């Protein structure tokens, strides 16, 4: 028999539990920082680190694993108002008038996955079938699918739509990047991003 991992059942008053919080847009870090300053609240904000193409070139980026969401453990009856009005917090996730709690084992699994620093660095290894974006060269900006990894040459063969036709091209490995969601899926992640 499987136990419920997320529950809307009411907890005994005065007992702390894990709740999901929604932050204001791009305010997850602000919310986490301010919540951590409040005595009686534990915060968990899992993040992913990956490479992204920018105008300045390829850089490492860190983002929330669940954009606009973080987790906090507190006593709802005592801290609900304080948590709700913390800088960066938009709301405590609720369904009707019920605040779902998250089982400790779910967050323990997630903590094990991201590590003590709460950041999971995504493996950038490419394989056949990886969805990528070309970031330099004549095809910059186009999406493609890797059809073959040519390891000895540090190149890959990709299939892409170009001028209304599917073409196959050989490109340098350094000129493509996998999408972070693709990397997360290949990383064996059991925690889905929305």
CATH number of the domain to which 156 belongs = 2.30.30.30
pLDDT category of residue 172 using cuts at 50, 70 and 90: confident
pLDDT of residue 142 exceeding 70, the answer is yes
Looking at the structure, tell me whether residues 75 and 155 fall in a common domain: no
Residue pLDDT, tens place only, 105-136: 888 888 888 888 888 877 666 777 778 887 77
CB 71 within 8 A of CB 20: yes
**Domain end marker among 82, 98, 121:** 121
- Tell me whether residue 66 is in a domain: yes
CATH number of 64's domain: 3.30.70.940
Q: Cα(first)–Cα(last) distance of the chain, in Å?
A: 28
- Tell me whether residue 192 is in a domain: no
Burial, 145: exposed, middle or buried (Cβ in 10 Å; 0-12, 13-18, 19+)?
Answer: middle
Structural domain that includes position 141: 131-186
Q: What is the arithmetic mean of pLDDT over 46-58?
A: 75
- Tell me whether residue 126 is in a domain: no
Residue 152: the pLDDT is 62
Extract the tokens encoding 35: 């919540």
Looking at the structure, tell me whether residues 101 and 25 fall in a common domain: yes
Domain count, the chain: 2
pTM of the model: 0.66
pLDDT of residue 32 exceeding 80, the answer is yes
């Amino acid at each position: 028999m499987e136990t419920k991992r997320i529950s809307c059942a009411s907890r005994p008053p005065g007992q702390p539990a894990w709740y999901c919080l929604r932050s204001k847009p791009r305010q997850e870090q602000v919310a986490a920082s301010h919540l951590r300053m409040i005595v009686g609240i534990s915060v968990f904000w899992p993040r992913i680190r990956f490479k992204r193409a920018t105008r300045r070139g390829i850089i490492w980026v860190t983002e929330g694993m669940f954009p606009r969401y973080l987790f906090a453990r507190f006593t709802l009856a005592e801290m609900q108002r304080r948590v709700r009005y913390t800088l960066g917090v938009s709301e405590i996730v609720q369904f009707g008038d019920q605040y779902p709690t998250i089982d400790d084992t779910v967050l323990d699994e997630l903590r094990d996955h991201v590590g003590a620093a709460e950041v999971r660095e995504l493996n950038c290894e490419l394989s056949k079938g990886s969805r990528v974006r070309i970031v330099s060269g004549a095809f910059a900006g186009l999406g493609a699918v890797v059809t073959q990894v040519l390891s000895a040459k540090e190149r890959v063969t990709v299939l892409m739509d170009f001028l209304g036709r599917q073409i196959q091209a050989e490109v340098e490995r350094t000129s493509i990047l996998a999408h972070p969601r693709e990397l997360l899926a290949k990383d064996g992640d059991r925690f889905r991003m929305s």
